[in-house]
Amino acid sequence: MSDSDISSILTAPDPYGQSTEFAYPDYPDMRADFTIDQGYAHYTDEDHAVWRDLMQRQLAILPGRACDEYFDAYASMDLSQSHIPHFDDYSDRLMRATGWQIVAVPGLIPNTHFFTHLANKRFPVTHWIRPRATLDYIQEPDLFHDFQGHVPLLLNPVFAGYMEAYGKGGLKALKAGTLSEISRLYWYTVEFGLIRNKEGLRIYGAGIVSSKTESVFALESQSPNRIGFDLRRIMKTDYRIDDFQESYFVIDSFEDLFAQTAEQDFLPIYDEIKNSPLLKPWDIAPGDAMLHRGTRDYVLKR
């Protein structure tokens, strides 16, 4: 495990399905849908200082790297750099813009509840922030990753529509037994997606946007592959949860992502790809639209 700021801090569907690991005995007031009150009064001065320091260092890195849509949304949020945000305040702003809300959760939640929240335009945000001792790396999603990484793009109507459709698709995938396939789509878009714009590639995935080092690695390292978005290919591509990605997939626009996913019926696609081999994270497949063929030097040097 690297000591760098590796983005396995993700609010992603649990690929292992409905687990018994979601018991939260320390949250007696947790509701049946796994939501809780944010408990704002419990944040310490140190919690706010951690938020401030994480925000400041990401804002120093993201210009020229994060996509315009992220910055447009970020600017309209007027997100506090000095204090942890009140979820209710930003829920009101989101509701007015795209109809979304933020709900506080204790951490990862079962897939059924995660997908149901998204399908109903509720984004679950972990209520606690990482301690300073683990500023650069935590295994679970925390408030900073969930809020700074995910929430701004919920102000973008097209991306917000994709997230809602993803939740509905996730519920269908649970019934179809294709959780792994749809989880890979989330991973390679919502968490680790790249987008092309006039000036070149930019990042939009929350796992990258909230990571000091992957924000640079994803765009500037020669090591990983950068491949044009391909829904079927992504659904059959394994991913790394404990280190930088070995392949990033690049969309042309959020409109194009929406058209290729939210407007498609996945059931025949699942049937079409069910016998396709599962690709390793570093594999190149026939038909890949290669923007950059990775050297894997980061991996090989480790």
Which residues are at the interface with Fe ion (CB under 5 A)?
10-11, 206
- Least separation in angstroms between residue 272's CB and Fe ion is 28
Question: 67 vs 206, which CB is nearer to Fe ion?
Answer: 206
Tokens of 200: 């070149």
- Least separation in angstroms between residue 7's CB and Fe ion is 8
Question: 126 vs 270, which CB is nearer to Fe ion?
Answer: 126
Question: 11 vs 213, which CB is nearer to Fe ion?
Answer: 11
- Least separation in angstroms between residue 210's CB and Fe ion is 8
- Least separation in angstroms between residue 139's CB and Fe ion is 13
- Least separation in angstroms between residue 284's CB and Fe ion is 27
| 225-228 vs 290-292, strand pairing mode | antiparallel
Which of 129, 122, 191 lies closest to 160, judged by CA?
122
Interior angle at CA 286, CA 283 and CA 287, nearest 5: 115
* Alpha-carbon dihedral 32, 142, 253, 195, rounded to 10 degrees: -150
Q: Is the dihedral of CA 62, 225, 246, 185 positive or negative?
A: positive
Residue nearest to Fe ion (CB): 11
- Least separation in angstroms between residue 244's CB and Fe ion is 16
Question: 90 vs 270, which CB is nearer to Fe ion?
Answer: 90
Question: 73 vs 294, which CB is nearer to Fe ion?
Answer: 73
Question: 148 vs 178, which CB is nearer to Fe ion?
Answer: 148
Q: Catalogue the E-assigned strands of 116-246.
A: 122-126, 194-197, 200-203, 225-228
CB burial string 5-23: b at 16+ within 10 A, e below: bbbbbbbbbbbeeeeeeee
d(Cα 171, Cα 114) in Å, to the nearest integer? 9
